[in-house]
Amino acid sequence: MDTVTQRVEPVATGPKTFDAERARADFPLLSRSMRGKSLVYLDNAATSQKPRHVIDAIHRYYETLNANVHRGVYQLSEEATSAYEWGRAMTARYLNAPSPAEIVFVRGATEAVNLVAATFGRQRVGPGDEVLVSAMEHHSNIVPWQMLCDERGAKLRVIPMNERGELVLDRLPDLLTPRTRIVAVVHVSNSLGTVNPVREIIREAHARDIPVVIDGAQAAPHGPVDVQALDCDFYAVSGHKMFGPTGIGVLFGKRALLDEMPPYQGGGEMIRSVTFEKTLYAPLPMKFEAGTPNIEGAVGLGAAVDYLRQLDWEAVARHEADLLAYATEAVSDIPGLHIVGTAARKTPVVSFTLEGAHPHDIGTVLDQEGVAVRTGHHCTQPVMDFFGIPATARASMAFYNTRDDVDRLVAGLHRVREVFPR
């Protein structure tokens, strides 16, 4: 059972509670006020807030370490390189990657999937082949595969989901055909909160020698990931969703596959030697990191992981499960509210519609109350089409959210109900 799946199981024992109030104190932005009220930040699936540990690390980097990496022979450049590589080593540990060489820094989950589609995908997918995704993918795990399929004359196929927003895995054996070249599935859905049984999917795919790409953008913020236990071939995360900076993310790839893949982009840093006749590429992971990288991003992500590692994740799991249960029950009392996504295994995400009020109106009224939620299709238009709705309002919580935040959301929704009677 994978880490995220494991942690949303009901926990029968374990007295330790997670001190969310104490965690909040580590996040300066959470003490802001908004519209004259204390901010309730419930848009963590879009991006999370940053602990002071991360902000300080970036600050310190520029004050004491800034130089270009991997090139200078002078001490400052060596120190900057160490800081950058520390970020990689920390992330490797968080994902339990066998080696930091299998951790490629990218801009985010989107670039990670594009990298795999443009290199590995082009190697593997030809006319008449198939790429299998799921019905609840974020656009960033659909469009790159669609582009590849269009280019190669291949077909994009889809694992369906049910009304609760769970994948229908009975269909998987039929969908894994002799033409399937790649499976790409989201670990945790951003618009529904569903935790998918990715290990089972990977096992089924591997039984047919089909490699699997996991979009872990929404899983990594809810606990350490074990790519070795999952046995996924690729795993994509975004730093900004896991309490690190924007503009940095990670692609984990199994060494044997990364070794065989052509580079994604050409330029400096990714070469061993260049002549006008021939270029020899650098070893992993540099082969995939052309140009001056996002050094501050790597340092900030390293600091984020350093912060996350000291949390008691079992206690966090109980806290997040409590938040989800509490919020699910509390919003259900609002007349005309329908929760979209009621899977048995969820992260603390409550997506909903309210009869008589457009999700954007819900968001606007909640904003007046100091409550920040996301409204729209959440870059999952096929999910909205499946449920026959244009959009939802989504409250997505992190470990630093509290029952008080949920109470403020519910009070705000009662206000929405007054403004937009059914």
Shortest distance, CB of residue 166 to ligand PMP, whole angstroms?
16
- The span from the CA of 329 to the CA of 348, in Å, is 13
Half-sphere exposure at residue 300, Cβ-oriented, CA atoms within 13 angstroms? 26
Q: Which residues pair with 214 in a beta bridge?
A: 185, 235
Alpha helices in 25-96 (DSSP H): 52-60, 75-94
Q: Is 147 in the site for ligand PMP (CB under 6 A)?
A: no
Least distance to ligand PMP, CB of residue 141, Å = 6
Question: Which residue stretch of 64-72, 138-146, 251-259, 352-360 sits at the interface with ligand PMP (rule: CB under 6 A)?
Answer: 138-146
Cβ neighbours of residue 265 under 8 Å, at least 6 residues apart? 290, 291
Supply the minimum distance, in Å, between the C-beta of residue 298 and ligand PMP: 15
| By CB under 6 A, residue 353 contacts ligand PMP | no
Q: What backbone phi and psi angles, to 5 degrees, belong to 282?
A: -70, 160
Q: Which of 138, 222, 319, 374 lies at the binding interface for ligand PMP (CB under 6 A)?
A: 138
Segment interacting with ligand PMP (CB under 6 A) among 13-21, 126-134, 210-218, 340-348: 210-218
Contact call for residue 156 and ligand PMP (CB under 6 A): no
> What is the closest distance, in whole angstroms, from the C-beta atom of residue 137 to ligand PMP in the complex?
8
- ∠ CA(118), CA(119), CA(121), 5° rounding? 75
> Which range of residues in 108-116, 223-231, 289-297, 327-335 is near ligand PMP by CB under 6 A?
108-116
Give the active site residue among 379, 384, 389, 419: 379
- Under the binding rule (CB under 6 A), the answer on residue 3 touching ligand PMP is no
Which residue is listed with tokens 């795999």?
Answer: 116
186 contacts ligand PMP (rule: CB under 6 A): yes
DSSP class of residue 63? I
Separation of alpha carbons 106 and 265, rounded Å: 11
Tokens of 402: 């509290």
| Residue span binding ligand PMP (CB under 6 A) among the ranges 104-112, 223-231, 260-268, 357-365 | 104-112
Verify binding: residue 109, ligand PMP, rule CB under 6 A: yes
Q: Burial, 275: exposed, middle or buried (Cβ in 10 Å; 0-12, 13-18, 19+)? A: exposed
| CB contact at 8 A, 91 and 242 | no
C-alpha torsion sign, points 389, 191, 298, 234: negative
Instruction: Tell which one of 51, 108, 165, 341 touches ligand PMP (CB under 6 A).
Output: 108
Residues in CB range of 396: below 8 A, 6 or more apart: 42, 43, 44, 45, 46, 190, 193, 347, 348, 349, 350, 373, 374
Closer to ligand PMP at the Cβ: 250 or 299?
250
Q: Nearest approach, Cβ of 100 to ligand PMP (angstroms)?
A: 21
Taking the least distance from each CB to ligand PMP, the nearer of 224 and 245 is 245
Counting contacts by CB under 6 A, is residue 190 touching ligand PMP? yes
- The whole-angstrom separation of Cα 150 and Cα 244 is 35
State the virtual CA torsion across 295, 299, 304, 307 in degrees, nearest 10. 180
Greatest pairwise CA separation for the chain in angstroms: 72
Site mask for ligand PMP (CB under 6 A), range 230-249, x = bound: --------x-----------
Rounded to the nearest whole angstrom, what is the least distance from the CB of residue 186 to ligand PMP in the complex?
Answer: 5
Least distance (Å) between residue 190 CB and ligand PMP? 3
Q: How far apart are the first and last CA of the chain?
A: 44
For strand 249-253 and strand 234-238, is the pairing parallel, antiparallel, or unpaired? antiparallel
Q: Based on the shown chain and the rule CB under 6 A, indicate whether residue 379 belongs to the binding site for ligand PMP.
A: yes
Window 36-95: residues binding ligand PMP (CB under 6 A): 45
Q: Token pair of 244, please?
A: 């690190």
- Does 143 participate in binding ligand PMP (rule CB under 6 A)? no
Choose the binding region for ligand PMP from 74-82, 136-144, 300-308, 405-413 (rule: CB under 6 A): 136-144
215 touches ligand PMP (CB under 6 A): yes
Q: At what angle do helices 109-116 and 143-152 cross, to 10 degrees?
A: 20
Residue 270 C-beta: closest distance to ligand PMP, Å: 21
- 3-state class of 181 per DSSP? strand
Closer residue to ligand PMP in complex, CB, 48/81: 48
Q: Is 110 in the site for ligand PMP (CB under 6 A)?
A: yes
Q: Is 379 annotated in the active site? A: yes
Number of residues located near ligand PMP, criterion CB under 6 A: 14
Provide the annotated active-site residues.
379
Q: Interface with ligand PMP by CB under 6 A: which residues?
A: 45, 108-110, 138, 140-141, 186, 190, 215, 217-218, 238, 379
